Amino acid sequence: MVYLIAILTGLSVVLLGAALFVRRSEKSAADLARRRAMQDRDVVGDGHGRPRLMFTVQRTGEIVSKGKTSRPLREKLAAAGYHSPSASAVYLGSKVILFGTGVLVFSALFFQLRDSIGWPTVLMIVALAAGVLFFVPDLAVGIARDRRRENIRRHLPDAVDLLEICVSAGLGLDQAWNSVAEEIRRVSPTLADEMELTNLEISLGASRAVAMRHMAERTGAEDISSLVALLVQSERFGASIVDALRTFATTMRETWSQRAEETAERMAVKMLFPMVLFIFPALLIITVGPAVLGFIQAMGSR
């Protein structure tokens, strides 16, 4: 029991540290775009600007990756909201440090049990625990990515409605985009940051279609891709943007309603296993238990 408590305590500390690593490496997309426009480098330096631990994690990642990271990794981190140039290094460094920490911690915990359970078992447990910690950053990035996409999907219909209202009032699409980005920040800073970053790319010379496609790639949300295709086609063929936006918002709300109905229908199936494993046995004990005890007592008295 003591070893189990020690293992859980050590695992909790390591997981909390991993969460802090990933969380502190997150930066606002809009701020990053402005700094890039001003040709400002994102340098950790010697650790004076950031905590020493973060500096160590990033340096470890830079050593492991040799200063080069793959494009899929950068896109994966960008979809989770980590746009900083140092995000890849922090991500890789945290994986390496967590793996090494897991090896050291669990080796120390199970070293005393080497004679009772044997060296192969100890090595297997240590390798398994260290492997689990190695994938903790992947889990954290995946959760952040899913939350980010869900936040964008939830507030995108409201943004489209505001965009349709602004365009109907006579504003141009670019001006309407800026106004919606400012208004939507109150409820969804994530979507507002992406919209501001898209507008900044347009102001730096990129076409609206290219900038919006970049937004769809960064977020990974299918609804953004549909909105981009809608706006590009409306602009190309001269169709009414107001009608297209109104139809798109209505379609999105109908899709959300259908998804909610499907989720509600699946809840009955998901509740079946907890009911069979936990609720039905308890009801059976409460209802049949007294009769069984009475029967046993009656048979024993004979």
Express each pLDDT in 185-202 by its tens digit.
888 888 888 888 888 888
Q: Is residue 43 part of a domain?
A: yes
Burial class (CB in 10 A: 0-12, 13-18, 19+), 89: buried
What is the residue whose two structure tokens read 């060296």?
119
Q: What is the mean pLDDT of residues 53-62?
A: 76
Please tell me whether residues 50 and 150 are part of one structural domain: no
Q: Is residue 275 part of a domain?
A: no
Q: Is residue 46 part of a domain?
A: yes
Please tell me whether residues 115 and 173 are part of one structural domain: no
Q: Is residue 299 part of a domain?
A: no
Out of 105, 134, 163, pick the residue that ends a domain. Answer: 134
Out of 103, 134, 165, pick the residue that ends a domain. Answer: 134
Contact call for residues 55 and 46 (beta carbons, < 8 A):
yes
Please tell me whether residues 39 and 83 are part of one structural domain: yes
Please tell me whether residues 35 and 158 are part of one structural domain: no
Please tell me whether residues 154 and 223 are part of one structural domain: yes
Print the domain residue range for 245: 146-255
What is the residue whose two structure tokens read 């409460």?
286
Q: Is residue 176 part of a domain?
A: yes
Report the pLDDT value the prediction gives residue 114, as an integer from 0 to 100: 67
Report the pLDDT value the prediction gives residue 12, as an integer from 0 to 100: 56
Contact call for residues 156 and 252 (beta carbons, < 8 A):
yes
Please tell me whether residues 14 and 129 are part of one structural domain: yes
> Percentage of the chain surpassing pLDDT 90?
0
What CATH number did the domain enclosing 195 receive?
1.20.81
Report the pLDDT value the prediction gives residue 256, as an integer from 0 to 100: 77
Please tell me whether residues 119 and 78 are part of one structural domain: yes
What are the φ/ψ torsions at residue 142 (nearest 5 degrees)?
-65, -40
Amino acid letter at 121? T
Q: What is the 3-state secondary structure (H, E, C) of 94-110?
A: HHHHHHHHHHHHHHHHH
Q: Read off the pLDDT of residues 70-80 as tens digits, 9 standing for 90 and up.
A: 778 887 888 88
Q: Residue 148: pLDDT band by 50, 70, 90 thresholds? A: confident
Please tell me whether residues 108 and 152 are part of one structural domain: no
Q: Is residue 139 part of a domain?
A: no
Report the pLDDT value the prediction gives residue 13, as an integer from 0 to 100: 52
Contact call for residues 60 and 27 (beta carbons, < 8 A):
no
Token duo for residue 80 = 């989770």
Alpha helices in the chain (DSSP H): 2-24, 29-37, 52-65, 71-79, 87-110, 114-117, 119-134, 136-168, 173-184, 189-203, 208-219, 222-237, 241-274, 280-301
Distance from C-alpha of 227 to C-alpha of 252, rounded to nearest angstrom: 10
Contact call for residues 48 and 18 (beta carbons, < 8 A):
no
Stronger pLDDT, 82 or 238, i.e. the higher one: 82
Please tell me whether residues 75 and 173 are part of one structural domain: no
Q: How far is CA 204 from CA 39, 207, 231, 256, in A?
A: 13, 9, 20, 35
Please tell me whether residues 58 and 173 are part of one structural domain: no
Please tell me whether residues 174 and 229 are part of one structural domain: yes
- For the chain, what is the mean pLDDT? 76
Q: Is residue 277 part of a domain?
A: no
Report the pLDDT value the prediction gives residue 206, as an integer from 0 to 100: 81
Q: How far is CA 64 from CA 58, 60, 72, 90, in A?
A: 10, 6, 17, 11
Q: How far is CA 47 from CA 50, 53, 58, 151, 175, in A?
A: 5, 8, 10, 33, 41
Which has the closest alpha carbon to 242: 136, 169, 134?
Answer: 169
Q: Residue 9: pLDDT band by 50, 70, 90 thresholds? A: low
Token duo for residue 227 = 């909105």
Q: Is residue 265 part of a domain?
A: no
Task: Examine the pLDDT at 56 and tell me if it is beyond 60.
Answer: yes
Burial class (CB in 10 A: 0-12, 13-18, 19+), 36: middle
Q: Could you give the number of structural domains in the chain? A: 2
Please tell me whether residues 116 and 198 are part of one structural domain: no
Q: How far is CA 24 from CA 51, 71, 265, in A?
A: 10, 22, 39
Q: Residue 14: pLDDT band by 50, 70, 90 thresholds? A: low
Out of 234, 255, 276, pick the residue that ends a domain. Answer: 255
